[in-house]
Structure 1
Amino acid sequence: MDPPASASATESEEVDRQWWKEATAYEIYPRSFYDSTGNGVGDLPGIYEKLDYLDDLGVDLLWLTPVYDSPLADFGYDIRDYRSILPEYGTMDDWERVRDGLHDRDIRLVMDLVVNHTSDEHTWFQQSRREVDPYTDYYIWREGESGDPPNNWESLFGGSAWTYDEVRGEYYLHLFDEKQPDLDWRNPAVREDVYEMMRWWLDRDVDGFRMDVVNLLSKTEGFPDGDAGSVVTGSEHFINGPRMHEYLREMDERVLSNYDDIVTVGEMPGVSVDGAREYVSDGPLDMVFHFEHMRLDAGEGDAWDFRDWELSDLKETFTRWQTGLAEDGWNALYLNNHDQPRMVSRFGDEEYRVTSAKLLGTLLHTLRGTPFVYQGEEIGMTNVPFESAGQFADVETLRYVERMLERDDVEGFADISEAVRYGSRDNARTPMQWSDEPNGGFTTGEPWLAVNPNYPEVNVEDARADPNSVWHYYRRLADLREEHDVLVYGRYDLVAPEHPQIYSYLRSLGDERALVVLNFFGDEPRFDLPESIEYGEADLLLANYDVERPAPPDAFDLRPYEARVYRLD
C-alpha cells in the first residue's frame, strides 16, 4: 500500500480554538420541519416544540433557512421584507422564542443572508421599476427591445437571465427566477441598506449568517456575452466577479468586525480551493460552502445531466480541500442540504440504508472542518420515488421539466424522469418524518409537499427507540468530536490513496492520532495499514458494525459500507 499523502505544512500542537470549529451544525428548512397548526406548513412554533430534540441530538449551531416575508417563488429565497416574518411561519415573537430557546440550550443561531437578489415584490424593486429615487439604480437595468435581451447570459434556473419589464421599459437581470431580480452592488446606497439590515439582525442576538450565493454579488463591467460552451452561459462574468473582495472587506469593516463571537459561512458556487483560501484566510468569512464534490456526478451536458461518481474523485476532491485549507482556512462539511438530493441515495446505497448513512455520517464528522447535518439526515432519509411532474414544487425542477417538454425529442415526463427523480431539490424538501403516524407525524393536515412514502419505516420515533439506529450513531459522532480534539483540529493524511473501494485517512494532533477506514461499496475489500504508520496500542472508538476483534487495525476485511474509527497511540 502507498504511504499517506499529507498536508503541505506541519501543523503545530497549538490550535486556534473557535466555538464554530468544534460545533456540530444542523440545518432546518422551516417549511418542512414541523407543523404546529395543522395547515400543512412547518412553522416557527413547530421548531420551538422540537428544540429539545436538537439538544438531545448534540446540536451546537442551528442554520435556519429563510423565514422572512416572501411570496415564495423560490420558497423564501425571494425576500419581500428582510425585517418581517412570513405569516405562514409565525411572528417575530415566535422567532424570538426560538432564538431564546436555542440560547437557553447553548445552541447558536445563524440566519440566512440573501442579498444577491430580492423578490420583485420588495418595495425597492417596485420603486426601482418606476424610477423613483433613490431606488432607480438599486437593480441592474439595461435598455433593449422586448425579445432582444442585452446579452446571452443564462439564469442558473435555465433560460435567459434577463426579463423585460413593461413598467420601466427595460430589461432587469435575474441570475435565478424572474421573480428574483439581482441587486446592483455597485450602488453604495444598496450596500448601506444591506449593512443596516445585517446590523438590525445582529442587534437581535443572531450568532452569524450563512450567506446565500455570496460570490455572485459582483458582475463584469459592461456585461459582455459569455462563453456559450459553459454549463451556464455567462457564469465566468458573474461568479467571483472583479469587486467581490472589495465588497466583502467593506461588509466586514462596516458590520461584521463590530460584533464579537459571530460566524460567517459563504455559499460559493464555482469557487476553487485557492479562491476559498483568499476568502477565509484573512477575509471576512470563516467558512465556505463549495460545490466541487456536488459536481462529481455531473455529466458533460446541462446541470441535469448526471453520471456515476467515482470514489477516486471523491477522495481527490476532499483531500485537496482538506490539505488546501490546512493552514489558512476551515472547511464547512456537507453531503446534502435543502438544495441537494439526499446523500444516502446519492453517495450511499438504499439497500444498505442504515449502514451507508452511518458511513457517510462518519466521513462528515471525522474530516477536518465543521459538519453540517441537514434535517432528516440523522435518520437516513432518502430520495423520493416521484411518479409525475405534478408532484414537484421546486421552481428549478419545474422550469427544467417545462423546458424539456417543449423539445421535439422529449415525448413526455418518462423521458426525463430518471434525471428529475435523482436531482430535484424536492428530494430534500419533503417533510421531516417524525413517526409512523399519517404524514409522518409532520402535520395533522394536508402537507404542502407529499411525505416520502417510506415514513412508516424511516422516522424519528422508531430511530430513537432503536439503539443501533442512524440517530444514535449520529449522537455518538457528536460526542466523539467533543471528546477528541484530534478529530476537530488534527492534521489530515490520506491513507492508501489508490485503493478503489476504501477511503482511509489519519488525523494527527501531537501524540494523538485517529485512523478512519471507510468502505464505500457493497463488496468486502481488505484493508492493510501501510507499514509507514507505526503505533503501540489501538482502541476502536466507533464502528457501524459489531467488531469482534477491535484491535489491532493492521489488516482486516471490511463488510459492505463498513466504517471504523480507531485511536492510535
Structure 2
Amino acid sequence: MSGTHQWKNSVVYQIYPRSFYSKHNRATGDLAGIIAKLDYLQWLGVDYLWLCPVYPSPQCDNGYDVSNYCDIDPAFGTLDEFRELVAQAGRRGIRIMMDIVVNHTSTEHPWFQAARASRDNRYRDFYIWRDKPNRWQSKFGGSAWELDEASGQYYLHLFDKGQADLNWENPCVRKAVVEIVRFWRDLGVKGFRFDVINLISKCPLMSDDDSDGRAFYTDGPRVHEYLRQIYQEVFAGTDLISVGEMSSTTLQHCLDYTHPERQELSMAFSFLHMKVDYPNGQKWVKAAPDFIELKRVMGEWQNGMHAGNGWNALFWCNHDQPRIVSRFGDDGRYRVESAKMLATALHCLQGTPYVYQGEEIGMGNPHFETIEQYRDIETHNAYQRLLAEGLAPSQALAVISQKSRDNSRTPMQWDGSPHAGFSTHAPWIDLCRDYREVNVASARRDPDSVLHHYRKLIALRKTLPLLVNGAYQDLLPAHPQLWAYLRYDAESALLVLNNLSDEASEFLLPDGANELLPQGRPHEARLIIANYLDREHEHGREKNAGFHRVLLRPYESLALHFT
C-alpha cells in the first residue's frame, strides 16, 4: 500500500493488553497501562503498536470472540482512553495497529442473537447454517458445528463454539466489515491486523466427505476478491498498513495477498516455520525443532517473496505461540545468548519484524506445574484429549508445558517487585518464576542485556537499506546447527552467522560465496552486531574482521557488513 510512511523499515511491537500492564492495579492490564509505558516503547524504537483485541467480549477465547466491534471492553477502559492512547502514541512517533477479527463473531454479538431468534431474521444469513453437520473439525478440537436448539439448525464455528463464523457470501456482511474498519481508521488507527483472514471464504458446496474441511475454506474461492474490496473502500489513497494472519497458507497465495499491484494487504504472516517442532504435523507432541527444516522454510519464503515482490511479516513470538527462547533456544544457562542470537537471525531477514511483549527481554515459558495454572481453552481441550489417548497426567502436562498458547500470555515482567510490577493485584494468570532476574528494569541497567540488543537491531533496520531490499542466500542449508546466510545487492552484502546449538561449531565460507560479495573487496568486512560482548570489543572499532573461518561459541551470532 502506498503512502509517505516508510513502513518497510519499521518494527511492530505486539501488545497482549490483558497481560501488559495494569495502571489501575487490577488482575488484568488496561489501556491506561499501555499509555503509561509509551515512553519505554519510544525508547525501544518501535514504530507501531499492535493491540490484541480490546473490544467487548465474553472472553471465551481471550477477546477473539467479539461482541461489539465499535467499543472498548470496560475491563480495558473506554473509547476516550483509546483516543488518548492514539494521541499520546502519535506524539512519540508511534502508530496504533488494531486487531480485526471478522472470520467470526461472539455468539453474544447482537447479530448472532438476532440470527438465532428466527430463521426469517435478516441477520440469519450473516452466519453459516446446516440442517445436519458434516465432518468439518474445529481448530480447537471436535466438530466445527454446534446445534442451535432454538432454531433447530447447526451453525459453523471453525474455532470455539462461542465463535460463530460469518457468511462472507452475504454482501451485507462485507459492508459491515468495511464500516468497522472505517470506524477505527477515523479514530486515528494507522494499521490493521486481520485475524485468520484467509479463512473467510468458504466453498458454497460444503463437503460431506471424510475430510476435516480445511481444503474447502483455507484460501477460499473469493478471499482475494473480498480483500480487494476492503482495500478499495478503506485503504486506497491512504498511508494505512495491513497484515493478514494466514492459516496453513501457501507461498503463492501470500504473493497474491501482498503484491502491491493487487491491492489486498501490505504483508502476511505465515506459520510454516512455527511447525518445525510438529512431528508429522502434530502440534500436541513434545518434540525438538528441526532446524534444517526451519532454514528450508525460511529460505523458501525469503526467496519467493523477494522474487515475487511480496512482503513477509517476520516473527518468532505472538500471543498464540510459546516463547522462542524456550522453543528454539535455551531459557536456562544460555538464555541471554540464545535470545540475542534468535533476534539477530530474524531481524536481518527481509520483511517487517514483529516483537511480542517480553520477547525483547528474553522472557521464556513459565513451566507451570499443574493444568489448573493454564487458562487457555485450546490448552485444556488438548490436555483432555491427551489423557483420553492414554498419556499419564505428567506426560500430558509435559506436552502442554511446551506447546500451550498460555506460555506467551503470562504478565509482562517490568521489575522485581511483587507481581513483577504488572499490578499490585494478583494477575489473572501466574507469573514466570524468574521475574526477579528477568525484567525490564534490570535489563535497562545492563548494557549487555537482551533488551539493548533488540534496541540495536531495531535501530539498524532504519539505517541499513540492505535489510529492506537485499536478496537472501542460505550458505549452509544442510548444516544441523549453523544458520549462515547472506543478504546482498549490487553494492553491499551482510553475512549473518548464527549457532542454533549449545555446542561450539566452526563456520567455513563455502566455495562460491565470494561471488555474492561486492566485487573488489572480497576479504573485508565490518562487524555491525554480535551477541558476545568480547566479540564486539575485539572487532567493534576495527574496519576489517576475518570471516572466512569463524569459530562460533554456543548460541553465538554475528553480522558482518561488506561495502
Q: Distance in 2 between matches of 1:441 and 1:108?
A: 25
Corresponding position of 1:85: 72
2:238 maps to 1:260: yes
Residue 53 in 1 paired to residue 40 in 2? yes
Which runs of structure 2 are paired with 1:37-186 in the superposition (5 Å)? 37-131=24-118, 133-144=121-132, 150-186=133-169
- Asked whether 1:375 is paired with 2:342, we answer no
Distance 1:225 1:161 in 2: 13
2:343 to 353, 361, 381: 361
Tell me the distance in 1 between the aligned counterparts of 2:506 and 2:529: 19
- Does the 8 Å contact 2:275/2:281 carry over to 1? no
Q: Equivalents in 2 of 1:136, 1:24: separation in Å?
A: 41
| Paired AA for residue 564 in structure 1 | L
1:334 aligns with 2:315: yes
How much does 1:139 deviate? 0.6
Amino acid at match of 1:183: L
Of the structure 1 ranges 320-329 and 504-513, higher mean CA displacement relative to structure 2 is found in: 504-513
The CA RMSD measured in Å over matched residues stands at 1.7
Distance 2:82 2:257 in 1: 31
- Give how far 1:305 is off: 2.5
Equivalent AA in structure 2 for residue 394 of structure 1: D
CA gap of 1:101–1:226, structure 2 versus 1, over 3 A, is: farther
The answer to whether the Cα contact below 8 Å between 1:30 and 1:64 also exists between their aligned partners in 2 is yes
Query: 2: distance between equivalents of 1:392 and 1:201?
Result: 33
Counterpart Cα distance in 2 of 1:432 and 1:442: 6
CA contact (8 A) 1:153 1:226 kept: no
1:397 counterpart residue number: 379
State the partner residue of 2:334: 352
Cross-structure match for 1:6: none
Establish whether residue 565 from structure 1 lines up as the match of residue 556 from structure 2: no
State the Cα distance separating 1:303 from its structure 2 match: 3.1
Per the TM alignment, residue 222 of structure 1 is displaced from its structure 2 partner at its CA by 2.3
- Deviation of 1:498 (Å): 2.9
Instruction: Tell me: CA distance 1:306–1:241, structure 2 relative to 1, closer, same or farther (3 Å).
Output: farther
Query: Do the aligned partners of 1:143 and 1:170 also contact (CA within 8 Å) in 2?
Result: yes
- Is residue 226–residue 236 contact of structure 1 (8 Å, CA) maintained in 2? no
Q: Could you tell which deviates more after superposition, 490-499 or 458-467?
A: 490-499
Spell out the pairing of 1:144-543 with structure 2 (5 A cutoff): 144=132, 150-225=133-208, 227-228=210-211, 233-257=212-236, 259-281=237-259, 282-300=262-280, 302-327=282-307, 328-350=309-331, 351-405=333-387, 407=388, 409-411=390-392, 413-532=393-512, 533=514, 535-543=522-530
Amino acid at match of 1:44: L
User: What residue number does 1:9 align with?
Assistant: none
Query: How big is the shift at 1:536?
Result: 4.5
Instruction: Give the TM-score, by structure 1 length.
Output: 0.93
Q: Which runs of 5 or more structure 2 residues have no equivalent in the other structure?
A: 540-544
Q: Distance in 2 between matches of 1:311 and 1:401?
A: 27
* Larger helix proportion of the pair: 2
Return the offset for 1:256: 2.3
Unaligned runs of at least 5 residues, structure 1: 1-14, 145-149
Amino acid at match of 2:555: Y
Greater CA deviation, 305-314 or 392-401? 305-314
**For 1:475-500, what per-residue CA distance to the aligned partner results, in whole angstroms no more than 9, with x for missing partners?**
11111111211122212122233333
Q: Displacement, 1:463?
A: 0.5
Superposition deviation, residue 16 in structure 1:
11
- Checking the alignment, whether the CA contact within 8 Å between 2:3 and 2:239 is kept in structure 1 is no
Q: 1:22 to 1:227 in 2, by over 3 A?
A: farther
Deviation at 1:208, TM superposition (A): 2.0
My pick for the range that moved more, 124-133 or 330-339, is 124-133
SS in 2 for 1:397: helix
Per-residue CA deviations over 1:318-357 (Å, capped at 9, x if unaligned) read: 1100000113111110011000000001111123100000
Q: Calculate percent identity across the aligned residue pairs.
A: 46
Q: Distance in 1 between matches of 2:4 and 2:36?
A: 32
Q: Is the 8 A contact 2:283 2:403 kept in 1?
A: no
How many residues align structurally?
543
* Contact 1:36/1:46 (8 A) holds in 2: yes
Q: 1:12 aligns to what? A: none
Higher relative contact order (CA 8 A, sep 6+): 1
User: Matched residues in 2 for 1:404 and 1:515: separation?
Assistant: 44
Taking the aligned partners of 1:190 and 1:441, their CA distance within structure 2 comes to 43
